[in-house]
């Protein structure tokens, strides 16, 4: 299983960050590539449906959540075996926080763990840039 993570410390309190990036049902606050989103309560839990630029629909199940984090899994994506992704904000002090993004999944088919690591490192960096832009930190240099 490949585990990829990326984090950055930002000069904002955790509550302010979480109000923008922490809403499982409001990913479009920062994920500008998502064309539309909806959340449905199912017997298994909350399922987020995202329509992507190519009209592909991605379904994600909220697996766990806490004050400043949530974890979800992918539904109906056999090429992403054991996929789990976590979005978290860690308060460092009253004015500074760490945004942490973690993805874990198993390689499937011809895909190697090295390829997964490379792909998801780029994805997480892009997501963090988009989150910072939505937070008004677009000019801050990524770590």
Write out the H or E segment, with its range, that includes residue 117.
helix 113-134
The count of structural domains within the chain is 1
pTM: 0.90
The answer as to whether 140 is a domain residue is no
Considering the domain boundaries, does residue 139 fall inside one?
Answer: no
CATH assignment at residue 110: 3.30.530.20
Q: Containing domain of residue 76, as a range? A: 2-23+63-134
Would you say residue 102 lies in a domain?
Answer: yes
**pLDDT tens for each residue of 78-95:** 666 788 999 999 999 999
The two tokens of residue 38 are 């909806």
Q: Pick from 81, 101, 72: which is nearest to 5 by CA?
A: 101
List, for residues 6-33, the tens digit of each pLDDT value.
Answer: 999 999 999 999 999 999 999 999 999 9
DSSP string, 3-54: EEEEEEEESS-HHHHHHHH--TT-GGGT-TT--EEEEEEETTEEEEEEE-TT
């Amino acid at each position: 299983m490949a585990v990829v993570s990326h984090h950055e410390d930002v000069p904002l309190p955790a509550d302010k960050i979480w109000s923008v990036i922490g809403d499982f049902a409001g990913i479009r606050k920062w994920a500008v590539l998502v064309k539309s989103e909806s959340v449905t309560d199912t017997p298994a839990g909350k399922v987020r449906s995202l329509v992507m630029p190519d009209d592909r629909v991605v379904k994600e199940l909220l697996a766990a959540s806490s004050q400043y984090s949530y974890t979800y899994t992918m539904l109906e994506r056999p090429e992403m075996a054991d996929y789990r992704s976590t979005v978290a904000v860690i308060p460092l002090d009253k004015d500074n926080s760490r945004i942490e993004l973690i993805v874990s999944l198993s390689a499937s088919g011809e895909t190697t763990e090295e390829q997964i690591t490379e792909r998801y490192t780029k994805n997480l960096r892009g997501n963090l840039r988009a989150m910072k832009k939505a937070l008004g930190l677009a000019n801050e240099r990524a770590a």
